[in-house]
Structure formats: C-alpha cells, structure tokens
Amino acid sequence: MKEEILCFWFDEPSGREPVSPDRQQMWFGKNPRIDQSIRERFEANVMAAARGDYEHWRAEPEGTLALILLLDQFPRNMYRDSARAYAFDEQALKICLEGIRAGRDRPLRIVERAFFYLPMEHAENIKMQERSVRAFEALCKDAPESMKETCRGFLEYAHRHRAIISRFGRFPHRNSALGRRTTPEEETFLKEPGSSF
C-alpha cells in the first residue's frame, strides 16, 4: 500500500525531477476531481494510519513519508475547507519530527523530502515554523541544479507561512473551517492576495 501511495503522489516509482507543472498543479492547486479521487482511493488508509495500523511503516524512509502523506497532505484534499482537513496534523508532525531525528528524510529524493517537512510548515507554532524554514534552506543547498528553482519555491512558501504565524500565531484562513472568530486585523489580511494556502 505504501508503494501505491507514493506512486500516486509522485507520479511513478522513480519520480521525476525537475517536477512537471502538471504535477505541481495537482499538489498545490484546487481540483475537486483530484480531491474526490484521493478520498475514494485513500480515505480508508488515512483512517487506518490515524488509528496506528501502519506504525511499522515508520521503520524506513519511504514508509514514514507515506504516513506523512496520509495524515498531512491527503486530508487537505479529501476534506478541503473543513475542520477535518487539519484533524491529523499533530500525528503527522510527530511522525515528521521523529523521522528527522532518525535521519529517515535524508535518503529520500529532494521532492520527497519537501513533503516530509510540510507538517512543520503547516503547524500553528512559531518554533515549528523556524524549523521548517531551516529544513527548506537545507533542501535548497542539497538540491541538484535541476531542482533549485522548485526548491526556492518551497522555501519561499516556508517563509510566507512563518511570517503569518509570527504575525497572528495562527493561520487566519483556517478560522472559518475551525469555527474560530476572525479578528479585524485578520479580516483585513484575508483580503490581501496570497493570504491563504
């Protein structure tokens, strides 16, 4: 199953670097068809990962990455604009940090490492945001020339996420989904281009 997850997300077993625009659009665009496909194919696996059924995957890099995708990325597609999109963030972050401590991120390809680090970028916690920026700075240094531009894009987003958490302590664009009251300052911010991810 973990191989199926990785092949689905990264296009093929060996992956493609540099990353195609179509693949980046799938990852970071909003496409109801893709969201529905992920839900149909992987929702049961997300629930299994949340229950701890795949804990043994954490013993190796690819399994750890597959768990992170199930708990951090796939819910954002399957449950877009709802509280459930963020329901497994703490689990994903714990797996991410433990994986980094064990060095399980290092054998992965550059683009795979980017998704390994995203739970830190998604955290409403300034310490995690600082760690995220450092991780993406290191990724840029490690990247081959063919991946430099893509990694600079990842780093730019890490900086933008950190700036929002530094300013508000949370991501205002999540307020509606999470039932949080939006402050006047946040309301003004949310009208600006690029305020949401």
183: region left, alpha or beta (phi > 0 left; psi from -120 to 50 alpha): beta
Task: Locate 120 and state its tokens.
Answer: 């830190």
pLDDT, residue 143, reads 94
Give the largest CA-CA distance in the chain. Answer: 48
Q: How far is the C-alpha of 10 from the C-alpha of 44, rounded, in Å?
A: 20
**From CA 41, how far away is CA 84, in angstroms rounded?**
17
Nearest to 164 by CA among 120, 131, 195: 195
Residue 167: per-residue pLDDT: 97
Domain ranges of the chain: 2-190
Single pTM value for the model: 0.93
Low-confidence ranges of the chain (pLDDT < 50): 14
Whole-number pLDDT of residue 17: 66
- The confidence score (pLDDT) of residue 23 equals 81
Q: Domain spanning 2-190: which CATH class is it, in words?
A: mainly alpha
